[in-house]
Amino acid sequence: EERFEEDVPDLEGLRVAYHLMQRSYSDEALMEFEYEDIEITRAQAFFYAVGMYYCTALLEDHITSEHRHSPDNSRLNGMVSQMPEFSKAFGCQEGDQEYSDEGSTCHLFGHRAGMRMHEELKLRNEGETEKEEGIHEEASN
Protein backbone atom coordinates (compact mmCIF):
# COMPACT_ATOMS: atom_id res chain seq x y z
CA GLU A 1 0.00 0.00 0.00
CA GLU A 2 2.83 2.44 0.84
CA ARG A 3 4.49 1.77 -2.50
CA PHE A 4 1.22 2.39 -4.31
CA GLU A 5 0.80 5.70 -2.47
CA GLU A 6 4.31 6.73 -3.50
CA ASP A 7 4.24 5.47 -7.09
CA VAL A 8 0.93 7.04 -8.19
CA PRO A 9 2.08 10.63 -7.51
CA ASP A 10 5.21 9.86 -9.57
CA LEU A 11 2.96 9.01 -12.51
CA GLU A 12 0.94 12.19 -12.09
CA GLY A 13 4.17 14.21 -11.89
CA LEU A 14 5.39 12.62 -15.11
CA ARG A 15 2.09 13.43 -16.80
CA VAL A 16 2.39 17.06 -15.69
CA ALA A 17 5.97 17.30 -16.94
CA TYR A 18 5.01 15.88 -20.33
CA HIS A 19 1.99 18.18 -20.57
CA LEU A 20 4.20 21.19 -19.86
CA MET A 21 6.54 20.07 -22.62
CA GLN A 22 3.55 19.75 -24.96
CA ARG A 23 2.73 23.39 -24.26
CA SER A 24 6.19 24.35 -25.54
CA TYR A 25 6.04 22.45 -28.85
CA SER A 26 3.43 21.73 -31.49
CA ASP A 27 2.50 18.09 -32.09
CA GLU A 28 4.63 18.16 -35.23
CA ALA A 29 7.64 19.64 -33.40
CA LEU A 30 7.43 16.94 -30.73
CA MET A 31 7.94 14.32 -33.43
CA GLU A 32 10.87 16.15 -35.07
CA PHE A 33 14.49 15.25 -34.43
CA GLU A 34 15.95 17.74 -31.98
CA TYR A 35 19.51 16.92 -33.02
CA GLU A 36 20.34 15.69 -36.50
CA ASP A 37 23.15 13.40 -35.30
CA ILE A 38 20.91 11.62 -32.78
CA GLU A 39 17.82 10.27 -34.46
CA ILE A 40 15.37 10.57 -31.61
CA THR A 41 12.41 12.90 -31.51
CA ARG A 42 11.80 15.47 -28.79
CA ALA A 43 9.04 13.26 -27.38
CA GLN A 44 11.37 10.25 -27.30
CA ALA A 45 14.13 12.35 -25.70
CA PHE A 46 11.74 13.19 -22.86
CA PHE A 47 11.15 9.52 -22.11
CA TYR A 48 14.83 8.63 -22.49
CA ALA A 49 15.63 11.31 -19.90
CA VAL A 50 13.04 9.85 -17.54
CA GLY A 51 14.49 6.38 -18.12
CA MET A 52 17.98 7.61 -17.33
CA TYR A 53 16.72 9.14 -14.11
CA TYR A 54 15.31 5.81 -13.00
CA CYS A 55 18.22 3.80 -14.40
CA THR A 56 19.87 2.63 -11.21
CA ALA A 57 21.28 -0.68 -10.14
CA LEU A 58 18.71 -2.82 -8.38
CA LEU A 59 20.40 -3.73 -5.16
CA GLU A 60 19.04 -6.63 -3.20
CA ASP A 61 18.65 -4.47 -0.10
CA HIS A 62 16.55 -2.00 -2.11
CA ILE A 63 14.00 -4.68 -2.86
CA THR A 64 13.99 -6.21 0.60
CA SER A 65 14.31 -2.99 2.60
CA GLU A 66 11.46 -0.83 3.77
CA HIS A 67 11.92 1.36 0.71
CA ARG A 68 8.63 3.14 0.02
CA HIS A 69 8.83 3.02 -3.79
CA SER A 70 8.64 0.05 -6.10
CA PRO A 71 11.96 -0.97 -7.71
CA ASP A 72 13.00 1.61 -10.29
CA ASN A 73 12.47 -0.60 -13.33
CA SER A 74 8.94 -1.45 -12.15
CA ARG A 75 8.18 2.21 -11.45
CA LEU A 76 9.40 3.26 -14.87
CA ASN A 77 7.60 0.50 -16.78
CA GLY A 78 4.43 1.14 -14.79
CA MET A 79 4.51 4.86 -15.50
CA VAL A 80 5.14 4.68 -19.24
CA SER A 81 2.56 1.90 -19.65
CA GLN A 82 0.01 4.42 -18.34
CA MET A 83 0.98 7.13 -20.83
CA PRO A 84 -0.42 6.98 -24.36
CA GLU A 85 2.16 9.67 -25.19
CA PHE A 86 4.88 7.02 -24.75
CA SER A 87 3.09 4.69 -27.15
CA LYS A 88 2.78 7.47 -29.70
CA ALA A 89 6.42 8.58 -29.33
CA PHE A 90 7.80 5.08 -29.87
CA GLY A 91 5.15 3.69 -32.20
CA CYS A 92 3.96 1.02 -29.78
CA GLN A 93 1.16 -1.14 -31.12
CA GLU A 94 -1.69 -2.85 -29.31
CA GLY A 95 -0.25 -6.00 -27.77
CA ASP A 96 3.13 -4.40 -27.00
CA GLN A 97 3.98 -4.48 -23.29
CA GLU A 98 4.15 -0.69 -22.88
CA TYR A 99 1.21 0.12 -25.19
CA SER A 100 -1.63 2.21 -23.85
CA ASP A 101 -4.37 4.43 -25.19
CA GLU A 102 -6.65 6.93 -23.44
CA GLY A 103 -9.26 4.26 -22.80
CA SER A 104 -6.86 1.93 -21.01
CA THR A 105 -5.09 4.31 -18.64
CA CYS A 106 -5.83 4.78 -14.96
CA HIS A 107 -6.46 8.24 -13.52
CA LEU A 108 -7.02 7.68 -9.80
CA PHE A 109 -7.27 11.37 -8.97
CA GLY A 110 -9.19 12.40 -12.10
CA HIS A 111 -8.13 12.80 -15.69
CA ARG A 112 -6.45 16.20 -15.22
CA ALA A 113 -5.60 16.01 -11.52
CA GLY A 114 -1.90 16.59 -11.98
CA MET A 115 -2.42 19.70 -14.08
CA ARG A 116 -4.98 21.08 -11.63
CA MET A 117 -2.45 20.61 -8.83
CA HIS A 118 0.25 22.28 -10.93
CA GLU A 119 -1.99 25.29 -11.61
CA GLU A 120 -2.94 25.54 -7.93
CA LEU A 121 0.70 25.47 -6.83
CA LYS A 122 1.59 28.04 -9.48
CA LEU A 123 -1.13 30.39 -8.21
CA ARG A 124 -0.08 29.81 -4.61
CA ASN A 125 3.55 30.62 -5.46
CA GLU A 126 2.51 33.77 -7.33
CA GLY A 127 0.49 34.86 -4.28
CA GLU A 128 3.46 34.27 -1.97
CA THR A 129 5.72 36.26 -4.30
CA GLU A 130 3.25 39.17 -4.31
CA LYS A 131 3.03 39.00 -0.50
CA GLU A 132 6.85 39.05 -0.21
CA GLU A 133 7.06 42.01 -2.59
CA GLY A 134 4.51 43.87 -0.44
CA ILE A 135 6.56 43.19 2.70
CA HIS A 136 9.71 44.48 1.00
CA GLU A 137 7.88 47.65 -0.14
CA GLU A 138 6.62 48.31 3.41
CA ALA A 139 10.12 47.80 4.82
CA SER A 140 11.65 50.26 2.36
CA ASN A 141 9.07 52.99 3.14
Q: What is the arithmetic mean of pLDDT over 96-104?
A: 80
133, part of any domain: no
Q: How many domains does the chain have?
A: 1
Q: Is residue 43 domain-resident? A: yes
Closest CA relative to residue 70, chosen from 52, 82, 58: 58
* pLDDT exceeds cutoff 60 at 79: yes
What is the rounded end-to-end Cα distance, in angstroms, of the chain?
Answer: 54
- Max CA-CA distance within the chain? 67
Is residue 11 within 8 A of residue 78, CB to CB? The reply is: yes
Query: Of the candidates 74, 72, 80, which has an alpha carbon nearest to the alpha carbon of residue 55?
Result: 72
Domain encompassing residue 42: 2-108
Q: Is residue 134 part of a domain?
A: no
Question: What is the pLDDT at residue 91?
Answer: 93
